Amino acid sequence: MSLTPEEISEIISTFSGSLTLEYIFVGFYTFFFYYYATTVAMEVKLMWPRKWHWGKVLFLANRYLPMLTYIANLSSGWQLASFYTSHAEAFIARFRVYIILSPKACAVLVKIFTIAHYRVYGFSAEMTAIRQGLTLGANLIQISYFSEGLRTLPLSELDRELGYACTWAQRVSPVSSNKNAIAGYISLAKAVYVPWHSSFFWCGYRKRAGTFGLFHVLRRDSGVYILSLAVPLAIRLGAAVVGAFQLRLGWMSLPGHILDLLNCAVVPVLANRLLLNMWKTEDPDVRKTVSSILFDPPRPGEDSDDDDEEFGDRPIEIVRYEGLGRRRAPARGGTEGASLGGAGATQAAENGDAV
């Protein structure tokens, strides 16, 4: 092997950094699986009996999609893959497991994400166009960068001795590197757009029926609500800043990897806690709004932590809304204004209806 001392030193440094990343990855994976194991009983009791509304879909997606990613990473393994010595660079992490999706499966996934995207951003076509434009702008600019970086070169002597079939040189031109930096700044602008979008939603819809009550509870209760909203935004902004300066920080950037792991492990946990607290809130205005948008109405005598006080004695009027911050939906055959539990069940019995 004809390596200079500087090249050997850089390879050792890169390999040491990869081992540090592996320990960090294992720590975050352990946290997520521990959280899942300690809350699966709560999930079975509170979420599985619910009907399929947006709240249940979001909750289960936040629970199981990250887990599938972690299982794929753990099953594939992280190990020293190949060295290419032309510029004393090293690349780490070779996957042994490959998942192949058919074109039909890819088309189905694209349609699912497209429908979900427009359901979330459908209330403002202008905002959706801005976000889509920023996303496409960043991705299109990076095409030349990735196409040049993914080229393979003939094996070096070290690669042949290690037994690899080919090597990934990751040689890119200065023009493509500059384009990648511009894409990082566009991604940063998109990350800043998210809290700006949230403030627009607050200013435009805070006086709509039912919406102000929800924001009032978020502001009043603070705690996990504010944490669940602020931490993901902070993580996203931090990741965008690191991505914008990736050329200066280098590929082995611990802050960037840590922020990515926070986004994959901590943000889903906080999002699920926010969903649960919105569903379990005792505020009547929020209950009747959130129940009709995210969850099906709770049933009398349901097995939950607040059975005795929350559902048994006081009726809760269920009002259906077309979406968060929108007007009430048309009444459905006399179900508008129906009450849950207590007085509602008694009135139904007096009218001779089945309970």
Residues 6+ away with beta carbon under 8 Å from 147:
none
Amino acid identity of residue 149, one-letter, is G
Q: Can you tell me the distance from the alpha carbon of 246 to that of 253, in angstroms, rounded to the nearest whole number?
A: 8
The parent domain of residue 263 ranges over: 5-286
Confidence of residue 354 (pLDDT cuts 50, 70, 90): very low
Q: What is the mean pLDDT of residues 171-191?
A: 77
Is residue 38 packed enough to be buried (19+ CB in 10 Å), middle (13-18) or exposed (0-12)?
exposed
pLDDT at 170 over 70: no
Q: Whose structure tokens read 């509170």?
A: 46
Residue 355 lies in a domain: no
333: left (phi over 0), alpha (psi -120 to 50) or beta: left
Task: Return the higher-pLDDT residue of 78 and 132.
Answer: 132
From the list 43, 66, 38, the residue with the least C-alpha distance to 276 is: 43
16 and 106 belong to one structural domain: yes
Q: Can you tell me the distance from the alpha carbon of 162 to that of 85, in angstroms, rounded to the nearest whole number?
A: 13
61 and 132 belong to one structural domain: yes
Q: Whose structure tokens read 């006081």?
A: 314
Q: Can you tell me the distance from the alpha carbon of 69 to that of 32, in angstroms, rounded to the nearest whole number?
A: 12
225 and 306 belong to one structural domain: no
In the chain, what percentage of residues exceed pLDDT 70?
Answer: 44
The residues with which 281 forms a beta bridge, in sequence order, are none
305 and 242 belong to one structural domain: no
Of the candidate ranges 5-14, 45-54, 263-272, the one whose mean pLDDT is the lowest: 5-14
pLDDT at 283 over 70: no
- Please state the domain count of the chain: 2
- Read off the DSSP letter of residue 50: S
Q: For residue range 202-253, what is the model confidence (pLDDT) as tens digits?
A: 665 555 544 455 555 555 554 555 566 666 667 777 777 776 676 666 656 7
pLDDT score at 197: 67
Task: Return the higher-pLDDT residue of 42 and 15.
Answer: 42
pLDDT at 191 over 60: yes
pLDDT at 276 over 50: yes
- From 263, 286, 309, the end of a domain falls on 286
259 and 335 belong to one structural domain: no
Question: Is 89:168 a contact under the CB 8 Å cutoff?
Answer: no
Q: Can you tell me the distance from the alpha carbon of 7 to that of 89, in angstroms, rounded to the nearest whole number?
A: 8
pLDDT score at 331: 55
Q: Can you tell me the distance from the alpha carbon of 275 to that of 266, in angstroms, rounded to the nearest whole number?
A: 14
pLDDT at 339 over 60: no
45 and 68 belong to one structural domain: yes
pLDDT score at 180: 76
Q: For residue range 138-159, what is the model confidence (pLDDT) as tens digits?
A: 778 878 777 776 666 666 777 6
Residue 292 lies in a domain: no
Of the candidate ranges 92-106, 172-186, 196-210, the one whose mean pLDDT is the lowest: 92-106
52 and 158 belong to one structural domain: yes
Of the candidate ranges 190-194, 211-215, 346-350, the one whose mean pLDDT is the lowest: 346-350
251 and 140 belong to one structural domain: yes
Confidence of residue 79 (pLDDT cuts 50, 70, 90): very low
Q: Can you tell me the distance from the alpha carbon of 9 to that of 12, in angstroms, rounded to the nearest whole number?
A: 5
225 and 338 belong to one structural domain: no
Structure-token pair, residue 233: 């935004």
Q: What are the helix (H) ranges across the chain? A: 5-46, 54-76, 103-121, 125-141, 143-149, 157-162, 174-205, 211-221, 224-244, 246-249, 254-280, 284-293, 343-350
